[in-house]
């Protein structure tokens, strides 16, 4: 398995320390963010590129352009700025997340946004990683609908899917699209009291034997169907962020997933 690590796994680590942590885990693929921690708005892209080169890591994505499917207001300007940053920092792709506040977004507007974003990505040699969010309030919950929109926008070759094990479970999706998937985000939920409908980012921890999201079954299904891309750890829970030794915790999760798969 190609494991990777998202900076949100250990947001208290500096960029350089995060890259070093990845290498200490035997990983060479990382994701950086513009929220927690906010590397994009605090660090010059050239410095990010140099730090990655020194550490010997590849920045597979920047998380995230939001809400990518509402192409109005300042979004076009923000999209271009984030794409510029990605290209200048050496990142390979941009994660793109849909509006997630209960507001519905028409399919035609989704397609229009993908069409508008396409040349921005193409001109910079970037991949757009579309990540449906499985929350009940999300405006784009399933990968199936995302693929339909990508096809309608003529976006094959420019866009790929993010298969997030958390969101796949929340959306109740059963279909896998390994040939259309560019990245898998993995995280678990272990709280026995929370219902699936009430699961939030705050519940997302590292994957272990108490996981309720069927991460192992999802990973097995993806691998059996031919997916050979990275599986990137993306836990949002404060209890993970506050760990004194997040590297050791990730190492344990890698061992658990590797053995189970």
Total domains in the chain come to 1
Taking the model in full, what pTM does it have? 0.97
Q: How many CB atoms lie within 10 A of CB 257?
A: 22
Predicted local distance difference test score (pLDDT) of residue 254: 98
Instruction: Confirm if 95 and 134 have CB atoms less than 8 A apart.
Output: no
Domain limits at 60? 2-260
Q: Distance from CA of residue 13 to its chain's centroid?
A: 19
Looking up residue 156, the CATH number of its domain turns out to be 3.20.20.150
Asked if the peptide bond before residue 41 counts as cis, ω within 30 degrees of 0, the response is no
Predicted local distance difference test score (pLDDT) of residue 40: 98
Instruction: List 111's β-bridge partners, or say none.
Output: none
- Please report the sign of the dihedral spanned by the C-alpha atoms of residue 81, residue 42, residue 186, residue 2: positive
- Cβ-Cβ contacts under 8 Å for 70 (sequence gap 6 or more): 99, 105, 109, 113
Sites in the chain below the pLDDT cut of 70:
none
Write down the H helix ranges in the chain: 15-24, 45-55, 75-89, 107-124, 143-152, 165-171, 215-224, 238-241, 246-260
Q: 106-142 burial string, b = 16+ CB within 10 Å, else e?
A: eeebbbbbbeebbebbeebebbbbbbbbbbeebbbbb
pLDDT in tens, 92-150: 999 999 999 999 999 999 999 999 999 999 999 999 999 999 999 999 999 999 999 99
Alpha carbon of 86 to those of 83, 90, 131, 162, 191: distances in Å? 5, 6, 17, 17, 36
């Amino acid at each position: 398995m190609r494991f990777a690590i998202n900076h949100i796994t250990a947001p208290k680590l500096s960029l350089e320390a995060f890259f070093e942590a990845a290498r200490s885990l035997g990983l060479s693929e990382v994701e950086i963010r513009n929220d927690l921690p906010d590397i994009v708005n605090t660090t010059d892209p050239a410095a990010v590129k140099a730090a990655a080169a020194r550490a010997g890591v590849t920045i597979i994505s920047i998380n995230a352009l939001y809400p990518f499917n509402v192409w109005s207001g300042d979004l076009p300007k923000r999209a271009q700025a984030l794409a510029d940053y990605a290209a200048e920092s050496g990142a390979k792709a941009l994660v793109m997340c849909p509006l997630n506040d209960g507001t519905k977004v028409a399919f035609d507007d989704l397609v229009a946004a993908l069409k508008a974003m396409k040349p921005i990505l193409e001109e910079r040699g970037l991949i757009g990683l579309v990540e449906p969010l499985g929350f009940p309030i999300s405006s784009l919950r399933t990968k199936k609908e995302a693929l339909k929109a990508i096809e309608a926008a003529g976006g094959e070759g420019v866009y790929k899917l993010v298969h997030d094990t958390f969101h796949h479970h929340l959306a109740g999706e059963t279909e896998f699209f390994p040939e259309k998937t560019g990245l898998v985000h993995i995280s678990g939920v272990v709280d026995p009291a929370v219902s699936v409908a009430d699961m939030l980012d705050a519940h997302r921890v590292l994957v272990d034997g108490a996981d309720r999201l069927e991460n192992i079954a999802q990973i097995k299904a993806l691998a059996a169907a031919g997916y050979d891309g990275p599986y990137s750890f993306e836990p949002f829970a404060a209890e993970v962020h506050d760990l004194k030794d997040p590297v050791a915790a990730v190492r344990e999760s890698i061992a658990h997933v590797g053995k189970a798969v």
